[in-house]
């Protein structure tokens, strides 16, 4: 799996996310409260709304449309109306950059 | 003049999907991300305070009502209790269905279950129906929560001031679900894996009502039903009064909440009962903002919205004439002017759907 250079570590506030588009796909990259970075698919599994305007609380992302929540570390759907988990992708940090394996 | 079919399984439903109106991109006022994050922030404190006040008042009013029963002196206390049971619980149901009332999720879930029971809205079915209301707000054939359909069913609306149709529908659907069945309309928006939960909740509720009725029979008094069940009827008026203002008389089949939703300034007691849902354009545009921050959200975006109605009187003075005109000509609706500071409505996008605006 190739590593893709997605953004600088300080592009994302702690407890927040950004959108990252690559090769016709869209992702969400998260900066957790403990400083770790995570990556999931960008679109909510309920009705394909982008999560970029959502709310990060601890280790969960809440979808801006109908408030479904996911654990962005595992992708697990935690609250209706989402029933399907998000795909997650590995991340690594090198030289102040966040890389994702997609 | 187009005749509307509001059924979720009818021709307008198919048309909305074919024309791209269903699950479309909606207009949003721009707000800097940092400001939005602050507005969306969750906290437990305001809802704990409000919930404590709500339940304390309910216990007090019901307690006095029971103590004074069967004297007519108990009536005002039942009216007050009923308004909290049959109307305040509507807004609690709503806010908790979004999960925005409390930061702590189990608190949301607990209040959601209680409020759903009071309002006779299956907590599973209605969570999905409300999600659809947010995806396809006032899109004919897609939104299951349109109150003032065109032409307006005024008799139905008036009966619902006493909860008649809504509660009847809730109770009959509860019995239907408790018998192990899911209605075809529900099946249109509830995923299959969630459907057994609908049936389980319906059966628990039937047991609660059966126990209440058994107690009433044993006591030879309707008093138990004054506490559980009937307040859904005699206390419904306030949520109908406030709920009707949300969208009535405004546009259908548009993708800009400024055209189909209404913000109204109301008195503080009604705001407590309605949990700030009078800021309705704001709520639809940004459903992640908790009720207690909606006044702040309103301040942040009001430059981009039609001016709020200044009172319920003013709102109804604008709604009633439009509903009356819709009785004769159902394409009529009200289109509010935007302030000079707002981004204009996208006429090109909406003109086909809009039809005739009332002057
Ligand atoms: S689109 Fe995300 S919760 Fe509905």
Q: Tell me the per-residue pLDDT of B287-313, one tens digit each, with 9 for 90 and over.
A: 999 999 999 999 999 999 999 999 999
* Residue B89 parent element (H or E): helix B89-98
- Closest CA to ligand 1's atom 1: A47
CATH topology for A3-101 is Rieske Iron-sulfur Protein (2.102.10)
Residue B152 confidence (pLDDT): 80
Q: Does B106 touch chain A (CB under 8 A)?
A: no
Residue B153 confidence (pLDDT): 82
pLDDT tens digits for range A14-42: 999 999 999 999 999 999 999 999 999 99
CA distance B174 to B206: 7
Closest partner residue to B99 (CB to CB) among A48, A67, A83 is: A67
Q: Ligand 1 centre and the CA of B336: distance in Å?
A: 29
ipTM: 0.89
**Residue B332: helix, strand or coil by DSSP?**
coil
Ligand 1 pocket residues where CB is under 6 Å: A 44, 46-47, 49, 63, 65-66, 68, 81-82; B 131
Contacts of A24 (CB under 8 A, 6+ apart): none
Q: Residue B186 corresponds to which tokens in the numbers above?
A: 């529900």
Pocket test for ligand 1, best of A51, A62, A82, A85 (most atoms within 8 A of CB): A82
By DSSP bridging, strand A16-22 and strand A25-31 are: antiparallel
**Contact residues, B window 8-37, toward A, CB-based 8 Å cutoff:** 23, 36-37
For residue B1, what are the CA distances in angstroms to B4, B287, B330?
Answer: 10, 34, 7
pTM: 0.91
- DSSP letter assigned to residue B88: I
């Amino acid at each position: 799996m190739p590593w893709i250079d997605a953004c600088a570590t300080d592009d994302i506030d702690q407890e927040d996310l950004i959108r990252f588009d690559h090769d016709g796909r869209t992702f969400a990259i998260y900066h957790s409260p403990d400083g770790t970075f995570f990556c999931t698919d960008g679109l909510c599994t309920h009705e394909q709304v982008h999560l970029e305007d959502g709310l990060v609380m601890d280790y969960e992302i809440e979808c801006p449309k109908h408030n479904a929540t996911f654990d962005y570390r595992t992708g697990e759907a935690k609250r209706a109306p989402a029933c399907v988990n998000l795909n997650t992708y590995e991340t690594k940090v090198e030289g102040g950059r966040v890389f994702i394996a997609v | 003049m187009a005749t509307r079919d509001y059924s979720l399984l009818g021709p307008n439903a198919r048309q909305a999907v074919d024309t791209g109106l269903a699950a479309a991109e909606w207009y949003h006022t721009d707000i800097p991300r940092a400001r939005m994050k602050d507005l969306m922030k969750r906290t437990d404190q305001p809802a704990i305070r409000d919930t404590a006040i709500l339940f304390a008042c309910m216990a007090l009013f019901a307690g006095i009502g029971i103590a004074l029963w069967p004297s007519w002196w108990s009536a005002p206390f039942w009216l007050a209790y009923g308004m909290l049971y049959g109307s305040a619980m509507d807004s609690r149901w709503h806010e908790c269905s979004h999960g925005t009332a409390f930061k702590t999720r189990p608190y949301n879930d607990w209040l959601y279950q209680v409020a759903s029971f009071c309002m006779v809205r299956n907590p599973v079915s209605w969570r999905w129906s409300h999600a659809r209301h947010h995806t396809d707000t006032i899109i004919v054939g897609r939104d299951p929560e349109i109150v003032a359909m065109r032409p307006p069913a005024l008799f139905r609306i008036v009966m619902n001031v006493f909860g008649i149709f809504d509660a009847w529908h809730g109770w009959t659907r509860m019995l239907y679900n408790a018998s192990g069945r899911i209605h075809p309309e529900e099946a249109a928006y509830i995923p299959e894996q969630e459907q057994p939960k609908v049936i389980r909740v319906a059966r628990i509720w039937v047991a609660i009502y059966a126990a209440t009725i058994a107690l009433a029979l044993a006591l030879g008094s309707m008093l138990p039903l004054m506490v559980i069940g009937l307040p859904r009827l005699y206390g419904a008026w306030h949520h109908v009064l406030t709920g009707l203002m949300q969208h009535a008389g405004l546009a259908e089949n548009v993708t800009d909440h400024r055209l189909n939703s209404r913000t109204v300034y109301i008195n503080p007691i009604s705001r407590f009962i309605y949990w700030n849902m009078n800021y309705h354009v704001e709520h639809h545009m940004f459903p992640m903002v908790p009720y207690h921050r909606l006044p702040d959200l309103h301040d942040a975006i009001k430059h981009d919205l039609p001016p709020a109605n200044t009172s319920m009187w003013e709102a109804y003075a604008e709604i009633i004439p439009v509903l009356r005109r819709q009785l004769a000509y159902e394409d009529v609706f009200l289109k509010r002017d935007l302030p000079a500071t707002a981004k204009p409505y996208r006429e090109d996008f909406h003109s086909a759907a809009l039809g005739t605006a009332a002057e």
